[in-house]
Amino acid sequence: MHDAVRATVGLFHVSKSYAAGHFALRDVCLEFQRGEFALLSGPSGAGKTTLLKLIFAAERASEGQILVLGRNASRLGAAAIPSLRRRIGVVFQDFKLMPRRTVEENVALALEVVGTPRREVRARVFAILKQLGLQDRRFHHPLSLSGGEQQRVAIARALVNEPEILLADEPTGNLDEELSLEIMDLIAAAAKRGTTVIVATHDSAILERYGGRHVRLEHGRVVSEHSTPAGREGE
Amino acid sequence: MHDAVRATVGLFHVSKSYAAGHFALRDVCLEFQRGEFALLSGPSGAGKTTLLKLIFAAERASEGQILVLGRNASRLGAAAIPSLRRRIGVVFQDFKLMPRRTVEENVALALEVVGTPRREVRARVFAILKQLGLQDRRFHHPLSLSGGEQQRVAIARALVNEPEILLADEPTGNLDEELSLEIMDLIAAAAKRGTTVIVATHDSAILERYGGRHVRLEHGRVVSEHSTPAGREGE
Amino acid sequence: MRQLWARLISLTRSALRGLSSSPVASGVAVVTIAISLVLVGAFALLASNMRSLLDDFGDALVVAAYLGENVPASEYPALADLARSVEGVESVQVISPEQALERFRVGVGRGAALLEGLSENPLPASLEITLLPEHQSAAGLGVVVESLEGLPGIDDLGSGQQWVEGYLRALALVRGLGIGLGAILGFAALLIVSNTIRLAMLSRRDELELLALVGASRSFVGAPLLLEGALCGAAGSALALALLFLLFQLVVPGFEFGLELLLGGLSPHFFAPSECLALMAAGVAVGVVGSLFALASERFA
Amino acid sequence: MRQLWARLISLTRSALRGLSSSPVASGVAVVTIAISLVLVGAFALLASNMRSLLDDFGDALVVAAYLGENVPASEYPALADLARSVEGVESVQVISPEQALERFRVGVGRGAALLEGLSENPLPASLEITLLPEHQSAAGLGVVVESLEGLPGIDDLGSGQQWVEGYLRALALVRGLGIGLGAILGFAALLIVSNTIRLAMLSRRDELELLALVGASRSFVGAPLLLEGALCGAAGSALALALLFLLFQLVVPGFEFGLELLLGGLSPHFFAPSECLALMAAGVAVGVVGSLFALASERFA
Ligand SMILES: Nc1ncnc2c1ncn2[C@@H]1O[C@H](COP(=O)(O)OP(=O)(O)OP(=O)(O)O)[C@@H](O)[C@H]1O
Ligand SMILES: Nc1ncnc2c1ncn2[C@@H]1O[C@H](COP(=O)(O)OP(=O)(O)OP(=O)(O)O)[C@@H](O)[C@H]1O
Ligand SMILES: [Mg+2]
Ligand SMILES: [Mg+2]
């Protein structure tokens, strides 16, 4: 169905204001295609997280239209939101792990909500944890993990489901450079498989290394946008 | 009193194991002097956060001794811990802000626990929030702040008290480069005023830019340690 | 069918995981449900035992017509026939002085010690007059008493009436307590349990919010929570039953005399198995309703 | 002095801030305390009203010696003197048939309709014999009754005794309920409230943990929490009093007849101001004790 529409994600003259008079986003127009890899940058408070929140319907736009996977995310009823979110993987800036569940259970959650059979859940969770170097930690609780390990669990949960859209908010803020690039490669690989990937980041190393589309926000407005035909991930 | 002892913070053959057989820190010996500015680096899971936790007595060492401000932090009774912690400012990797209190209240907390009069609390909180560019946000709740804003609130809370020791765990993970350096300057300035500063960071830009002492951890061991006599902050 | 089974198992598993992931909150919920049910149950137990007593009262709602001492025993049947003809009277039985004494002994239990010092039987013969159901009230009683008063050979109607009057008060008391306290208790238990479950959910709010963020449907979030409520209710009511049984075993021997006075000659009984089941069902229902209240009052989205 | 004042103000401020920062949990705690206190209070109200009734019973614990119809009124005083000489008797009062009827009318309230159809006074004259306190029991009564039985001119001792017997049961019933349910209720309320406060704290655990991390002393964390408990208790008990008063106003007129039977001629009364204060104090105490329990069971460090 989403193949029928032109873009996987489309924002048309979108504004978002949390409190009267102050705009977190202002008149943003952007489209993201299937399999696209986009980096979103900008200073603290520019509106990056807000943009991602609008896409997975965690906030509602104050003005404008947002089309996501063929649905109008700015008008979606409460009952229709879950089915949209199940097709989107999100790495939250603050991880949002469940402190009383193990790493394995945290990651499995994304599969359980779509009704994946238990056996398959186990296999897929193990595979993704291994890819992220967390297989030894799978029975640990998030609070007994280091910051970087928690961040990787959050990434695993977003990827395990092979979502059609992947939104990652500062996914490498707690990782050292080497690990950052390794994990960005994993995220970029998802784009190769057809996922629309949008990553918000401050990390200049990542911005330099990865090509694709670069969007820069400042004070809620898109101030620059350019694409390099192939970044390092194409090398 | 702490002037009488040689080092503000001293770790002597410290090991920490959360679960039998696995060591988060192993035989670490380090001393930090008054007014010293030290950067702690190392890959994810190396033990940086654990080291900081031991210093402010959030965890107990499995082996070895830890002297902090003239007290033996590894043997401190539950009743003596608060008075030690009041002399230490901590920027937590996960911020640890109180979601139901305003920014102002969050920052004021560090002053209130030491019994600062209300009028003085207000003035000092306002001053530090202004320094960090957060004065407009002071009546907001943490959940309505961007990631970088939250991080700055956490930094404000650690600094407002002018503590004798400042421990900062990845204080710029959610900040763009420009803001990162601005805030690191603020932290370095505290060292100038006599505070012992220990910052755990992955950020290579910071590691390159700031001199002073660099300690690198890997798998719980100190693998390298060197000091440049004066970093950029001395320029 | 196997599908449904698998669904049920996974539902149960996630409910159990939810409960065990917040042990303090779950424990508190179970204990609160147990306490509430002990309250309601203790009251029900008392009421159920008192009801047996009240059934006995039904027998006591008779008019005793004490016969004069000068009436010979041979005239008793004729007097009884006369009494039978009065409107509102259902049946009449002749009680000899000996029968009266025996009854009194049984009726007051240990209180019968009171009578042991007596050298001769002070009780007169009497007619025990049962009233038609529609006359079994204070007013109905008055009409019948008025008619009986005119009959010859009858010395006194007062005594029986006084007994009845005393019992009517006790009856009204128990009914009043039953309706009032029972209703308050039941309602209070429901409120308390639903509040407790709501707080238990609040302590896991972050988790429930996250579920919504990863696209869990309302039923995916809600179904295990309802099941958790039901499980808490079941555990709580089982605990309550155990506590009540213990209380019953401990209290009954200690208060034997008091209870004898309270319950007449009846020995106190615990809940029948079917009543135990009903209490369990009430616990489960209260847990589910509490969860529903809590779900309705908190919106996770 | 000003120091202390400032400290108190800041303490109160931080307690209020704590309460308002988790409105749902605080609200639930207040409501739960209110419900628990309504339960305890409704019971106390009933018991207090019943106690007035029992005080009346004290008067009823007399032996009425009904005099034979053939005894002339002029001999009443001599008979009374004779009765006074019996061991265990405190005082003796002569009740004429007219006085007896009047008393009965007042005593049964509306039930007096029962007597209206009577054309002549059926009640005999009697001696109202009050017993010494040490004889005011079933056994003591027996001894006195035995002695009185031998006196001339006395026709019957039974009726009064039966009244007393019926009332003794009611008395035991009320006492049994009072001790049993009262204790269970009070204990249950304490458990429920402390659990609720514990859960309310659990929903703010992150905040309390952080306080420890920034070096707050145990008293810095604990004092506002205790004050919060006290404030919740005060609010809860105020709410409970309001609810009880409402309940009282609503229920009393509806059950007038039933209550009249229950309480005799007495009109039901609400708590005296001092009792209201006691209930408030109980609420505050329960809140503080609940917070202490919760603090002791959770360790924030
Ligand atoms: N729930 C909210 N209520 C009110 N204001 C909000 C809320 N969320 C964000 N804001 C404000 O909107 C602006 C944009 O926030 P946003 O989180 O999108 O920034 P960001 O680009 O993600 O910043 P960072 O890099 O620091 O995470 C900020 O000024 C922030 O204070
Ligand atoms: N509470 C805990 N219980 C068990 N293991 C723990 C606990 N805290 C940390 N660990 C383990 O100890 C090791 C060191 O953790 P630590 O948080 O000190 O790393 P770190 O250097 O801060 O890493 P990062 O850069 O990712 O934050 C990790 O392997 C982690 O899983
Ligand atoms: Mg952000
Ligand atoms: Mg760390």
Q: What is the pLDDT of residue D112?
A: 41
- pLDDT at D296 exceeding the cut of 50: yes
Three-class secondary structure of residue D157 per DSSP: coil
Query: Smallest Cβ distance to B85: which of D10, D14, D213?
Result: D213
A211-227: average pLDDT: 93
Q: State pLDDT tens for residues A153-188.
A: 999 999 999 999 999 999 998 888 888 998 899 899
Q: State pLDDT tens for residues C154-200.
A: 776 643 455 555 555 555 565 566 667 677 777 877 888 888 888 87
Best mean pLDDT range from B147-161, D245-259, D262-276, D282-296? B147-161
Distance CA D248, CA C287 (A): 30
- pLDDT at C111 exceeding the cut of 60: no
Distance CA D109, CA D113 (A): 9
Tracing tokens 């400012």 back to the chain, one arrives at B89
Element (H or E) spanning A216, and its range? Answer: strand A212-218
Burial of residue B117 (number of CB atoms within 10 Å: 0-12, 13-18, 19+): exposed
Which residues of D, range 6-35, sit inside 8 Å of C by Cβ? 24-25, 28, 31-32, 35
Best mean pLDDT range from A201-215, C139-153, D19-33? A201-215
| For ligand 2, atom 27: residue with the closest CA | A147
- State whether the beta carbon of B147 lies less than 6 angstroms from ligand 1: yes
The count of C-alpha atoms lying within 13 angstroms of the C-alpha of D86, restricted to the half-sphere facing its C-beta, is 29
Report residue D109's pLDDT band, with 50, 70 and 90 as the boundaries.
very low
- pLDDT at A235 exceeding the cut of 50: no
Which parts of chain C are beta strand (E)? Answer: 62-67, 89-95, 126-131, 154-156
Q: What is the pLDDT of residue B213?
A: 93
B33-42: average pLDDT: 94
Which residues of chain C neighbour A106 with C-beta distances below 8 Å? none
Q: What is the pLDDT of residue C79?
A: 81
CB D22 within 8 A of CB D200: yes
Q: State pLDDT tens for residues B67-110.
A: 999 999 988 888 899 999 999 999 999 999 998 899 999 999 99
- State whether the beta carbon of A216 lies less than 6 angstroms from ligand 1: no
- pLDDT at C21 exceeding the cut of 60: yes
B209 min Cα distance to partner chain D (Å): 30
Q: What is the pLDDT of residue B221?
A: 96
Distance CA D63, CA D105 (A): 19
CA pseudo-torsion sign C283, C285, C288, C292? negative
Distance CA C173, CA D50 (A): 10
Three-class secondary structure of residue A3 per DSSP: coil
CB D215 within 8 A of CB B58: no
- pLDDT at C204 exceeding the cut of 90: no
pTM, two decimals, is 0.76
Distance CA A137, CA B47 (A): 15
Q: How far is CA B118 from CA B132, B137, B139, B158, B163, in A?
A: 21, 20, 17, 18, 19
Ligand 4 centroid to residue B45 C-alpha, Å:
7
- pLDDT at A89 exceeding the cut of 60: yes
Q: State pLDDT tens for residues A32-47.
A: 999 999 999 999 899 9
Ligand 4 centroid to residue C180 C-alpha, Å:
60
Task: Show the CA angle centred on residue D286, arms to residues D285 and D292, nearest 5°.
Answer: 90
Which residues of chain B neighbour A144 with C-beta distances below 8 Å? 18
Distance CA A60, CA D187 (A): 50
Beta bridge partners of B91: B168
Contacts of D282 (CB under 8 A, 6+ apart): D37, D40, D237
D220 closest CA partner among B119, B7, B79, A198: B79
Q: What is the pLDDT of residue C199?
A: 80
Question: B: neighbours with 3+ CB pairs under 8 Å?
Answer: A, D
Tracing tokens 């960005």 back to the chain, one arrives at A184
Quick one: what percent of chain A has pLDDT higher than 70? 94
Distance CA C239, CA C246 (A): 11
The count of C-alpha atoms lying within 13 angstroms of the C-alpha of B154, restricted to the half-sphere facing its C-beta, is 28
- pLDDT at A147 exceeding the cut of 70: yes
CB A164 within 8 A of CB A2: yes
Residue of chain C nearest D30, judged by CA positions: C195
CB A14 within 8 A of CB A189: no
Q: State pLDDT tens for residues C232-245.
A: 999 999 999 999 99
Quick one: what percent of chain A has pLDDT higher than 90? 70
- pLDDT at B53 exceeding the cut of 50: yes
Best mean pLDDT range from A32-36, C121-125, D26-30, D248-252? A32-36
- pLDDT at B231 exceeding the cut of 60: no
Contacts of A164 (CB under 8 A, 6+ apart): A2, A8, A34, A69, A87, A88, A194, A195, A196
Distance CA D273, CA A86 (A): 61
Ligand 1 centroid to residue A15 C-alpha, Å:
13
Distance CA C29, CA C20 (A): 13
Q: State pLDDT tens for residues B10-27.
A: 999 999 999 888 899 999
Q: What is the CATH number of domain C62-159?
A: 3.30.70.3040
Structure tokens at B221: 């061991």
Q: What is the pLDDT of residue C110?
A: 37
Better pLDDT: C262 or A90 = A90
Q: Which atom of ligand 1 is nearest to the CA of A42?
A: 21
Where residue B102 falls (left for φ over 0; alpha for ψ -120 to 50; beta otherwise) is beta
Q: State pLDDT tens for residues C72-98.
A: 888 888 888 888 887 777 778 887 777
Q: What is the pLDDT of residue A198?
A: 97
Q: What is the pLDDT of residue D113?
A: 42
Does ipTM surpass 0.90 in this model? no
Distance CA D240, CA D257 (A): 26
Contacts of C19 (CB under 8 A, 6+ apart): C26, C228, C231, C232
Beta bridge partners of A91: A168
Report residue C107's pLDDT band, with 50, 70 and 90 as the boundaries.
very low
Task: Show the CA angle centred on residue D220, arms to residues D218 and D222, nearest 5°.
Answer: 60
Q: State pLDDT tens for residues C215-229.
A: 998 888 888 889 999
CB B65 within 8 A of CB B89: no
B98 closest CA partner among D204, C25, D218, C205: D204
Q: State pLDDT tens for residues C28-68.
A: 888 888 888 888 888 778 777 766 665 554 554 566 677 77
Better pLDDT: B224 or C202 = B224
Ligand closest to A201 (CA) is: 1
- Order of all β-strands in the sheet with A88-91: A88-91, A165-169, A196-200, A37-41, A212-218, A221-228
Residue of chain B nearest D6, judged by CA positions: B117
Give the CA-trace dihedral at B49, B52, B53, B54, to 10 degrees. 130
- State whether the beta carbon of A146 lies less than 6 angstroms from ligand 2: yes
Q: What is the mean pLDDT of chain D?
A: 74
- pLDDT at D126 exceeding the cut of 60: yes
Quick one: what percent of chain C has pLDDT higher than 90? 12
Best mean pLDDT range from B45-59, C192-206, C264-278, D281-295? B45-59
Distance CA A69, CA A10 (A): 9
Residue to test with chain A: of B18, B40, B41, B44, most A Cβ within 10 A: B44
A50-69: average pLDDT: 95
- pLDDT at D299 exceeding the cut of 70: no
Q: What is the pLDDT of residue B123?
A: 95
C-beta atoms of D122 and C180 within 8 A: no
Domain segments of chain D as ranges: 2-56+165-296, 62-159
Is any Cβ of chain D less than 8 angstroms from the Cβ of B80? Answer: no
Q: What is the pLDDT of residue B52?
A: 97
Which residues of chain A neighbour C218 with C-beta distances below 8 Å? 79, 82
